[in-house]
Amino acid sequence: MAVQEVRVINLPHITDARGKNLLQEIKDTLHITTINHIVTAKVYRFEGISAADADFLARNLLAEEVFQQYKVNEPIIENADKLVEVAYKPGVMNPEAGSILKAAADLGVRGLVAADSSYEYGFFGSVTDADMQLILSRLLVNETVERVVHEKPSSLVIQGRPGRTAVIPIRSMNEAELMELSRDNLFLNLKEMKAIQRYFMALNRDPTDCEIETLAQTWSEHCVHKTFKATLIVGDATKKPLFKRLQEATAAAGHPLVLSAFEDNSGVIDFYEGMALCGKVETHNSPSAIEPYGGAMTGSGGVFRDIMGTGKGARVIASTDMFCFAPPELPASDVPRGCLHPQYLLRRVVAGVRDYGNRMGIPTNNGSVHFHRDFRAKPTIIVGAYGIMPARDAQKGRPQNGDIAVVMGGRTGRDGIHGATFSSGEMTDRTIDVNASAVQIGHAIEEKRMSDALLRARDQNLIRAITDCGAGGFASAFGEMGQQTGVKIHLDRAPLKYSGLAPWEIWLSESQERMALAVAPENLASLLQICHEHNVEATVIGQFTDTGKLEVYYREDMVCELDMEFLHHGLPARTMTARKEPQPVEHKEPDPPRDWEQACTLVMQHLNVCSKEPIVRMYDHGVQGSSALPPFGGVQGDAPNDAVVVAPILGKKYGAVIAHGMNPVLNKLDPYAGSIWAATEAVSNAVAVGANPDELVLIDNFIWPYPDEESLYDLDRAVDACVDFVRATGMPFISGKDSLSSTYRGQDGAVIKIPPVLCVSCFGRIDDVTATVSADFKCIDSTVVLVGRRDIDQMGGSTYYDIYNAVSPRVPVIDMRLLPKTLKTIYRACRNGNIKACHDISEGGLLATLAEMCFGGDTGAQITIPETQRPDYFLFNETAGCFLVEMDNSTDPAQVFGDVPYLVLGRTTNEKRITVCRGPNKLFTVSTHKLFNAWQKPMQEVFGA
């Protein structure tokens, strides 16, 4: 049957926001100024229905007559100088398609077999072919997942015969052939390939493609964390594996709140009244590097499913996002081959996180964005999620022999194949072409329905075990769930998006919005009924056994048979050498500023200090009605808070605090000190809003260059820093993730090591959310006090050094003996009401912290700094673990802070300026209005706010 087309456009007097934003982006990014305006239309296509049915759907579903008009099987944008349509490639998930099919059925339209949607753009003005090609390649079409539609398709149905299962002649391969087999998709080394070869030699047969792909996925760095589990040789010493050190430090801390650490999809702590709180932070760097919108979406969706798959299932209450990019204004010529421009990456990553969280109704309420030139080769994309569940359901479930293997949620397609293995390798100029199929587009509404169904099933005790189909798809989910028993899976029963998938593709696909469950036979009918009521597809695809084997069938053929012992424990143990490479020592100090106003303004508008409000405002951080302390506050609601506080159970005063810390610049200069800084910053952010340091736990995310000996040495130092932090503070790491592929290798052999990132996330419980403290000044003529010990002369990696091209390897060193006492003192002072406002010192130093507090309170401040220290270092030093606090004039700081170092700096004023004196002499005065404008400008320019 013919394909019917519906085009929908805004009425002429209604602003076309999509076209307006695209025009602005073309002017700002591509500097093309000859286009007058752009008109956009939504295109819908249907197969299996008549033109009359298409008209019915247009009137009742697709077009809102108050502000839109439509046409069926006719053009709708007329007289455009250039007209172009952009759509997803066939086989790429289009989230709208499934919703259209469901809505059409609900409206009584029968016979619809396929649907699709796309956008049409009409350009008016002088547009050359070269301009059009630039607009398409840079802004409209990511060739990984999108295409330009040149003609109406004859059919929307993707048809194909299932691929045959191939046998890989691995037993006869020499070393070169083994590595050629591994190079683009398996990402295994020669020792690992030989172990697989020996296994099948012992079986006297060659493996199927399904078996070899299963082993590669299970043994990938992404899934098994080979480097973190390797024995390390550092100098003359043999050291325990990185992961074991973190585990042992957490166990030794013996934190009373921890219910589950490093053994489930997320870490879990005790909450209140029989509830538990869980947290997980993930990375999605490689997919986002080649398709930022889909990569970021599926990063959010995946970490939400980690929460949904913790214990017997948790409800997601919060989302976080932490990003690292090259500067948005980076010249296009500086972008390495095969990489995308950082401004495009930034905008599309933000859009992906926004769309997934907002559509699921999950508040995105904590995050940060960091910039460094060397992220031009690959961004760092970190997403986190936090959830709540009954404490009785917090322990990881185990399948039993005879339990039913169920898959629920989205259907399986070719999208996401090789995601786990591709994310484990270096990025090259070929990655965007060779691994395009590893990227996918998420469907947030599908996941929302699935989440609701799972929570009902959990509450009715229908789930024995659950995990998400993340990296590796069914292979990872059922392979891991059946590790202690055995499992038999029938791939021909799995619901597919379209025909034509080979068995190994069904098995390895990472299509989103799917969960794997183990269900007792007597509970199956009840589970399927709940799924039906929530419009969630659920299918029995196998059974857990007692064979100790992974058995995978397609129809009557066994396409994979592996011993669970070999699959999960046959990976050759690694011993890796870490070596410190001598680095050239540069030290160049700046002269003290002659123009202090300029120095302050440059610091405030630095990309690592400036306001990220235009990004935050795209996220709905109040959607669940739980926000007790939002990301931004103050008189005008535009000043940042250090952490967020949510009250996830309505009507209860208790809640959860969420914060994080990271500084790639410091990690690059000194991985140990930079890692201590990150952990200190995370905890300081939480304590600054009133959290009790005794009720906080941590999550680590190591995003590191590919582990050669030099990078491994730096990673070893970073893990030592984390262990030392746990020992000093008693705060344990209870979950984490490593991503060791932040290296770009160009066609010419050039190597870019992306700056190493340790992101430390911090979360915990607060018994009374009304007792928390925000960062904005509250009163005029309050006392401003600096609390904590700063390492004033260590300025390496600071914003101030960066703007004046100064360099030093010496970064701020935090006094770990004093830090716990400082944190507890700040907490007690907040809880006792001695502190009206509190803001920790981080990027930009004391001056930036003071300015942000003034922005929030709509006040000024007058402070006096010591004459004995360099004034610029005093104002711009970035030692973490220190705080600026506002106190009532009647409060004696000595009584509050005791022997914790503090310094009374001055007072708040009603004049909208900051005045800094040095001893009796005024050093400078700067307008808070000027600082505020400089602080807001960079992201407003990027996002057009």
Q: Which domain holds residue 177?
A: 171-206
Residue 571 within a domain = no
Same domain as 100, residue 28: yes
Q: Are 507 and 473 in contact (CB under 8 A)?
A: yes
CA 187 to chain centre: 23
Tell whether 739 is in a known binding site. yes
Residues 878, 840: Cα–Cα separation, whole Å? 10
- pLDDT average, residue stretch 241-246: 96
State the pLDDT confidence band at 523, using cuts at 50, 70 and 90.
very high
What DSSP state is assigned to residue 523?
A: G
- pLDDT reported for residue 439: 57
Q: Are residues 13 and 79 located together in one domain of the fold?
A: yes
| 126 in a structural domain | yes
Contact yes or no for 109/47 (Cβ under 8 A)? no
Please give the model's pTM, rounded to 2 decimal places. Answer: 0.92
CATH number where 96 lies: 3.30.1280.10
Element (H, E) at 103: helix 95-106
Please tell me whether residues 103 and 176 are part of one structural domain. Answer: no
Q: Specify the residue for token string 């990655």.
A: 431
Q: Are 92 and 182 part of one and the same domain?
A: no
| Mean pLDDT rounded to a whole number for the chain | 93
Does 642 show up as a binding residue in the annotation?
Answer: no
**Residues sharing a CB contact under 8 Å with residue 495, sequence separation 6 or more, in sequence order:** 407, 411, 412, 537, 539
185 in the same domain as 113: no
Rounded Cα gap, residues 640 and 600, in angstroms:
18
Encode pLDDT of 902-929 as tens digits. 999 999 999 999 999 999 999 999 999 9
Q: Which of 225, 255, 284, 443 is catalytic?
A: 284
32 and 72 share one domain: yes
736 is in an annotated binding site: yes
Of 267, 253, 269, which Cα lies nearest the Cα of 728?
A: 253
Residue 144 confidence (pLDDT) above 80: no
Number of domains into which the chain is organized = 2
Is it the case that residue 423 has pLDDT exceeding 80?
no
Please state the rounded mean pLDDT for residues 812-839. 97
Rounded alpha-carbon distances, angstroms, from residue 687 to 684, 693, 819: 5, 6, 12
Per the domain annotation, does 339 fall within a domain?
A: no
8 Å CB contact between 798 and 845: yes
Residue 284 known to be catalytic = yes
Q: Which pLDDT value is given to residue 1?
A: 65
Question: Which secondary-structure segment (H or E) carries 757?
Answer: strand 757-766
For the question of residue 587 being annotated catalytic, the response is no
pLDDT-based confidence at residue 524 (cuts at 50, 70, 90): very high
Buried b (16+ CB within 10 A) or exposed e, 823-844: bebbbebbbeebbbbbbbbbbb
- Strand duo 487-490 + 549-554: pairing: parallel
In a domain, residue 278? The reply is no
Residue 182 and residue 125 share a domain = no
Torsions phi, psi for 506 (to 5 deg):
-60, -40
Percent with pLDDT over 90 in the chain:
84
Quote the tokens at residue 904.
Answer: 């009374």
Cβ proximity of 760 and 662 under 8 Å: yes
Same domain (yes/no): 16, 140: yes
CB 774 within 8 A of CB 629: yes
- C-alpha–C-alpha distance, residues 780 and 871, integer Å: 25
Question: CA–CA distance from 763 to each of 257, 318, 506, 728, 731 (Å)?
Answer: 12, 11, 37, 18, 11
The mean pLDDT of 244-271, rounded to a whole number, is 97
At residue 75, φ and ψ (nearest 5 deg) are -65, 155
Q: Is 511 annotated as a binding residue?
A: yes
Say whether 512 counts as a known binding-site residue: yes
Question: Confidence class of residue 430 from pLDDT cuts 50, 70 and 90?
Answer: very low
Domain identity same for 135 and 11? yes
What is the C-alpha to C-alpha distance for residues 925 and 922, in angstroms, rounded to an integer?
A: 8
What is the pLDDT at residue 95? Answer: 79
pLDDT > 50? residue 431: no
Q: Indicate whether 432 pLDDT > 70.
A: no
Q: Are residues 22 and 142 in the same domain?
A: yes
Q: What is the pLDDT of residue 416?
A: 60
Q: Is 768 part of any known ligand binding site? A: no
pLDDT at 421 over 80: no
Q: Is residue 939 part of a domain?
A: no
Q: What is the pLDDT of residues 65-102, one digit of tens each?
A: 999 999 999 999 999 999 999 998 887 778 788 889 98
For residue 237, which phi and psi values (nearest 5 degrees)?
-105, 145
CB 748 within 8 A of CB 274: no
By CB neighbour count within 10 A (0-12 exposed, 13-18 middle, 19+ buried), where does 346 fall? buried
Query: How high is the pLDDT of residue 711?
Result: 94
357-396 pLDDT, tens digit per residue, is 999 999 999 999 999 999 999 999 999 999 999 999 999 9
Pair 190, 178: CB distance under 8 Å: yes
627 carries a ligand binding annotation:
no
Per-residue pLDDT at 250 exceeds 50 = yes
Distance CA 300, CA 441 (A): 11
DSSP β-bridge partners for residue 496 = 412
Contact status, residue 146 vs residue 86, Cβ threshold 8 Å: yes
User: Both 21 and 52 in a single domain?
Assistant: yes
Of 222, 341, 418, 443, which is the active-site residue?
222
Q: Which range, of 215-229, 299-313, 722-736, averages the lowest pLDDT?
A: 215-229
pLDDT of residue 741: 86
What's the residue count for the chain?
A: 945
pLDDT for 424 = 41
Interstrand relation of 380-390 and 275-283 (parallel, antiparallel or unpaired)? antiparallel
Q: Are residues 10 and 50 in the same domain?
A: yes
Confidence of residue 194 (pLDDT cuts 50, 70, 90): very high
User: Annotated binding residue at 624?
Assistant: no
| Residue whose tokens read 């030592």 | 720
Least confident among 67-71, 340-344, 761-765, 875-879:
340-344
- Residue 126 pLDDT exceeds 50: yes
Please, which residues bridge with residue 438 across strands? none
| pLDDT over 60 at 437, yes or no | no
pLDDT of residue 433: 42
For residue 889, tell me if it sits in a domain: no
CB atoms inside a 10 Å sphere around CB 12: 8
Task: Report if residue 129 sits inside a domain.
Answer: yes
CA-CA-CA-CA dihedral for 165, 169, 174, 175, to nearest 10: 30
Q: Is 636 a member of any domain?
A: no
